Every structure is written in structure tokens, then in C-alpha cells.
Amino acid sequence: MSEQPFEPRIVAFFCNWCTYTAADLAGISRMQYAPNVRVIRLMCSGRVDPQFVLAAFRDGADGVLIGGCHPGDCHYQEGNVNALRRFELLRPMLRDLGVEDERVRLEWISAAEGDKVQRVCNEMTEQVRALGPLRLVTPKRVTPKRVTSPRVTSTWTVPVERADELVGQEAR
Ligand code: FES
């Protein structure tokens, strides 16, 4: 039985006002890019909640691409700046889960840059293809150890002959 070659699945969160329009432009200009990229349109890159990225990986994506307006061009003032902040915070967490840096990418792509959409999508597809399928690291369960302090133990080490006497004292 011949094995199917690995085809990466890349989820792309594109801002409606720039990168999504650029992807549209690439389409109507017949610039072909890898069909491995599935685009999700959001109103702003600042709308990308880190949980969206985690959910994409959990549900089988091999890579996540976020596309937003260039700094200073966001329709919601600072949405792309917030996206960048979250992206930088998310990266180390993803590394801990075994997600290599090449699997997540943030790009500023204006509505006129259809060629950049094509280049970024193709580059990312090839990078992720080279990495192979994503294998998430399952965090180890940590079972707390029961620690018995010798001092605490000694408090309860009561000579048997005195036990009744002490219990009697406590009740009084
Ligand atoms: S509107 Fe495009 S990144 Fe905010």
C-alpha cells in the first residue's frame, strides 16, 4: 500500500480590510498559491484570540498564518499592534507544546499586495511540509507527592499507654 505524501493544513486568519482583500486580488490576478491554506476572514488581525490559534492546532492544523494591515494602517487604530503583542506572548507557549516557530507566522500584507499573499502562503506551505505533520507534546501530569514531616509525625507518636489519657484531656 503506497503512503500518501504529506500535505500540510494551514489555517490563515486574514484581516478583512487588507490581507483578505490582497488574497482576493491574488485570486482575480490569477496568481496561484498553495491550496493548503484555508482562509478565515476576520475584521481585524487584533480579533485573533490566542485561543483561535490553539484551537486550530488542536483540531489538526499543521500551521497558522495571521495576516493584518501594515502598522499605522489598521482600521481599528491599534488592532494589529495588539495582534503582534499577543503573537509574541503566544510563541513561547506554543514552543512548550512542541510547535516549532515556523508553524506560526504573522505578516503585514496590504490590500494591494496580492503577490505577497502568494509568496507568504507558498513559503509557509513549503516550510511546514519540510517539518512534517504537527505532533503536539502532551504536558506531563504532575502528581503532588505526599510529604510527611518528621516533626509532624513525632507529634502524633504518642506512647500507647498515654493515648487514653491524652484523648481524655482533649475532650475536657
Ligand atoms: S483592520 Fe486590518 S489589522 Fe486591523
Instruction: Calculate mean pLDDT across residues 21-42.
Output: 95
> Could you tell me how many helices (H) and strands (E) the chain has, helices first?
6, 4
Answering whether pTM is above 0.75, one says yes
Q: Is 82 in the pocket of ligand 1 (CB under 6 A)?
A: no
**According to CATH, where is 3.40.50.960 located in the chain?**
10-131
The contacts of residue 37 (CB under 8 Å, 6+ apart) are 10, 11, 12, 65, 121, 124, 125
- Rounded to the nearest angstrom, the distance between the alpha carbon of 116 and the centre of ligand 1 is 17
Q: Is 44 in the pocket of ligand 1 (CB under 6 A)?
A: yes
Q: Is 75 in the pocket of ligand 1 (CB under 6 A)?
A: yes
What strands, in cross-sheet order, belong to the sheet with 104-108?
A: 37-42, 10-15, 63-68, 104-108
Give me the torsion for CA of 153, 158, 159, 163, rounded to 10°: -150
Q: Is 80 in the pocket of ligand 1 (CB under 6 A)?
A: yes
Q: What is the pLDDT of residues 3-25, one digit of tens each?
A: 788 999 999 999 999 999 999 99
Q: Hey, which CATH number is domain 10-131, 3.40.50.460, 3.40.50.960, 3.40.190.10, 3.40.50.300? A: 3.40.50.960
Residue appearing with cell numbers 500518501 = 4
